[in-house]
Chain A
Amino acid sequence: MQTENHHAISIRNLKKTYDNGHQALKGIDLDVRENDFFALLGPNGAGKSTIIGIISTLVRATSGQIQIFGRDVATDVYQTKLSLGVVPQEVNFSQFEKVGDIVMTQAGYYGLKGQLAKERTEKYLKKLDLWDKRDNRSRMLSGGMKRRLMIARALVHEPRLLILDEPTAGVDIELRRSMWDFLQEINRSGTTIILTTHYLEEAEHLCRNIAIINHGEIVENTSMRSLLGKLARQTLVFDTFSELTAAPVFEDPDIHSHLIDSHSFEVSMSTSRDINALFNVLSQQNVLIKSMRNKTNRLEELFLSSLSTQK
């Protein structure tokens, strides 16, 4: 039965113990709102793929409940599966089938036939830049193309919820950016997206909310903005036009500077500090700034901090 809520997915006390005794999930509670772009992060073996496996029914939960758009995965199998698209971590299509046939076949599993299946296949293969490859055997595709094929296949029935398990692993930077644009486009069109990734920059760039899982438990579950707001210090790297013999000096004891080379230095400071004040000091010392960047990935620091807190 469908109940009124605004969650694309709602997980309650989800536990999974495998036959070998390994307890992969220790009672997960997680809500993802409709239309969200949600990041599920965690180190290898944390339980991310187990959660995705249970949602997609490839893994049986030991206990707990999952609802997709208010419908129970265990009892309302048809409707929940109809609203779900999954892009797995590993390639899981036949290496001997043609690209177009793989997407058409998936359309058939969802009851799409004939012209509609052809139109959807063409639409998503074109969107993912694979239309020219439709008559090629899938084993001939590059790694990045195989990942895009799995996305096209997952979208052919136009699910309301798309789960991507490390979709850009092994994909070059240019292609990764174009995949980000595509995922943002379908998210804007109303598809809820849950993403697991090892590229924390990717999660920071794409996702509005985030959960961090470790040893089968959720250790952080908040908005990206709120999580990044927890960052206490940051390190900024400055490139200069002028040649430096020493790092600029700051009177404020909270700000520490360090010379990297004759044309660059770094400054470590609290995130609550005003960066404009920093520029004023640099101007007074006749240091002409060419460019500035954050030295470390902010999310990476928080991610490591969350994991170390749990230890």
Chain B
Amino acid sequence: MFNGHKYIAFETILIKEVRRFTRIWMQTLLPPAITIGLYYLIFGNLIGRRIGDMGGYDYIDFIVPGLIMMAVIQNAYSNVSSSFFSNKFQRCIEEILVSPVPNYIILLGFVAGGMARGLLVGIIVTIMSFVFTSLNIAHLGLTVLVVLLTAMVFSLAGFINALFANTFDDISIIPTFVLTPLIYLGGVFYSIELLPAAGQWVSALNPVLYMVNTFRYGILGTSDVNVYWALSMLVFFSALLFGVALYLLRRGTGLRH
């Protein structure tokens, strides 16, 4: 396939994905805005005032970066897992599979769609945070880079989930039993310095901790983890998951009999 044609195919998948999640905005964009808004109000504002400082910042300022990242992670993941599985379920994935679109373009198209939703929700909840606090972004370039890499990692993970999924239950198991605990224990609401040594050691195994803290560093300029180590890990996970997803796609896992 010529490069121009590949780009058109990529753009087609991306536009279709964006059209899908904007068409059903009541299911895709509104719920995270309401949920994160409630977190801002209850944890950040009402309870946060009694908590006082966290990591040297007002509690609301501390949790806003984590909550933004939580919204990005959940939405990037669920967009790809639900959209790709829905394509499998309705068999419209066959439209792409019989066409000459290369596997890596299919993967990039869906991942870009997931990133687009993750970023859009991230922007929405960032704007909402201005009601409760004023964010001064310390490192803009790093902030954007981290959010892009995180959205990519979780879009890729959502894609792999959808490849293996046979029922709609299969695409809710990982978000419920794996993703949510990782996010809540990933330093969104607290600094790991509050934990005992063993707790800090266990937390260090949680990849979400590095994403949340690097993003927090980008905004506040403070982090529980080494930022360069965290960035290296994000790049590593992006490459690893891309390789795995592409391998599965080439094998036809969950797609070709």
Q: List A residues at the B interface (Cβ < 8 Å).
A: 18-19, 53, 56-60, 77-78, 81-82, 84, 86, 88, 90-97, 101, 105-106, 108-113, 153
Closest 7 CB pairs of A and B: A111-B5, A108-B12, A109-B99, A92-B91, A81-B100, A56-B98, A78-B100
How would you classify the secondary structure of chain B's contact residues: helix, strand, loop or mixed? helix
Instruction: A101 to B18: give the CA distance in the assembly, Å.
Output: 13
Which residues of chain B (96-112) have a CB below 8 Å from chain A? Answer: 96-101
Do the beta carbons of A59 and B99 come within 8 Å of each other? no
Whole-angstrom distance from the CB of B162 to the nearest CB of chain A? 15
Do the beta carbons of A108 and B9 come within 8 Å of each other? yes
Do the beta carbons of A57 and B2 come within 8 Å of each other? no
Instruction: A229 to B90: give the CA distance in the assembly, Å.
Output: 44
Instruction: A175 to B252: give the CA distance in the assembly, Å.
Output: 37
Give per-residue flags for B13-29: 1 if the beta carbon is below 8 A from chain A beta carbons, else 0. Answer: 10110011001000000
Do the beta carbons of A60 and B91 come within 8 Å of each other? no
Known contacts: A58-B94, A92-B94. The answer to whether A109 contacts B256 by CB under 8 A is: no
Do the beta carbons of B101 and A109 come within 8 Å of each other? yes
Do the beta carbons of B98 and A84 come within 8 Å of each other? yes
Q: What are 23 pairs between A and B in contact, CB < 8 Å?
A: A57-B97, A58-B97, A58-B256, A59-B257, A78-B1, A78-B100, A81-B98, A81-B100, A88-B91, A92-B90, A92-B91, A92-B94, A94-B92, A96-B20, A101-B16, A101-B19, A105-B12, A106-B99, A108-B12, A109-B100, A109-B101, A110-B9, A113-B11
Instruction: A81 to B5: give the CA distance in the assembly, Å.
Output: 14
Residue of A nearest to B255 (CB): A58
Whole-angstrom distance from the CB of B216 to the nearest CB of chain A? 38
Whole-angstrom distance from the CB of A187 to the nearest CB of chain B? 21
Instruction: A147 to B255: give the CA distance in the assembly, Å.
Output: 23
Instruction: A106 to B16: give the CA distance in the assembly, Å.
Output: 11
With an 8 A cutoff between CB atoms, is B95 at the interface?
Answer: yes
Which residues of B are found within 8 Å of A101, using beta-carbon distances? 16, 19
| B contacts with A, residue count (CB < 8 A) | 30
Do the beta carbons of B1 and A111 come within 8 Å of each other? yes
Known contacts: A92-B92, A92-B94. The answer to whether A110 contacts B99 by CB under 8 A is: yes
Given contacts A108-B11, A109-B101, 17 further A-B contacts (CB under 8 A): A58-B94, A58-B98, A77-B100, A81-B98, A81-B99, A81-B100, A82-B100, A88-B91, A90-B91, A92-B91, A93-B90, A93-B95, A94-B87, A105-B95, A109-B96, A111-B9, A111-B100
Q: Which of B23, B100, B256 has the most CB of A within 10 A?
A: B100
Whole-angstrom distance from the CB of B257 to the nearest CB of chain A? 5
Residue of A nearest to B257 (CB): A59
Which residues of chain B (205-252) have a CB below 8 Å from chain A? Answer: 252
With an 8 A cutoff between CB atoms, is B4 at the interface?
Answer: yes
Instruction: A109 to B15: give the CA distance in the assembly, Å.
Output: 12
With an 8 A cutoff between CB atoms, is B8 at the interface?
Answer: yes
Do the beta carbons of B257 and A18 come within 8 Å of each other? yes
Instruction: A58 to B93: give the CA distance in the assembly, Å.
Output: 10
Whole-angstrom distance from the CB of B57 to the nearest CB of chain A? 44
Which residues of chain B (68-98) have a CB below 8 Å from chain A? Answer: 87, 90-92, 94-98
Do the beta carbons of A86 and B257 come within 8 Å of each other? no
Instruction: A77 to B100: give the CA distance in the assembly, Å.
Output: 7
Whole-angstrom distance from the CB of B254 to the nearest CB of chain A? 12
Residue of B nearest to A59 (CB): B257
Instruction: A237 to B223: give the CA distance in the assembly, Å.
Output: 91
Known contacts: A57-B97, A78-B100, A81-B99. The answer to whether A95 contacts B5 by CB under 8 A is: no
Which residues of A are found within 8 Å of B4, using beta-carbon distances? 111
Instruction: A90 to B90: give the CA distance in the assembly, Å.
Output: 10
Do the beta carbons of B94 and A96 come within 8 Å of each other? no
Which residues of A are found within 8 Å of B94, using beta-carbon distances? 56, 58, 88, 92
Instruction: A111 to B12: give the CA distance in the assembly, Å.
Output: 9
Known contacts: A53-B257, A58-B94, A82-B100. The answer to whether A113 contacts B1 by CB under 8 A is: no
Which residues of B are found within 8 Å of A96, using beta-carbon distances? 20, 23
Whole-angstrom distance from the CB of A215 to the nearest CB of chain B? 19
Q: Which of B13, B23, B92 has the most CB of A within 10 A?
A: B92
Which residues of B are found within 8 Å of A92, using beta-carbon distances? 90-92, 94-95
Instruction: A207 to B6: give the CA distance in the assembly, Å.
Output: 36
Q: Which of B6, B15, B23, B90 contacts A95 (CB 8 A)?
A: B90
Q: Which of A57, A84, A112, A153 contacts B95 (CB 8 A)?
A: A153
Which residues of B are found within 8 Å of A153, using beta-carbon distances? 95
Instruction: A18 to B256: give the CA distance in the assembly, Å.
Output: 11
Residue of B nearest to A153 (CB): B95
Which residues of A are found within 8 Å of B5, using beta-carbon distances? 110-111
Which residues of B are found within 8 Å of A59, using beta-carbon distances? 256-257
Which residues of A are found within 8 Å of B2, using beta-carbon distances? 111
Instruction: A65 to B33: give the CA distance in the assembly, Å.
Output: 54
Instruction: A101 to B23: give the CA distance in the assembly, Å.
Output: 13
Which residues of B are found within 8 Å of A113, using beta-carbon distances? 8, 11
Residue of B nearest to A53 (CB): B257
Known contacts: A81-B99, A108-B12, A113-B8. The answer to whether A57 contacts B90 by CB under 8 A is: no
Instruction: A57 to B101: give the CA distance in the assembly, Å.
Output: 12
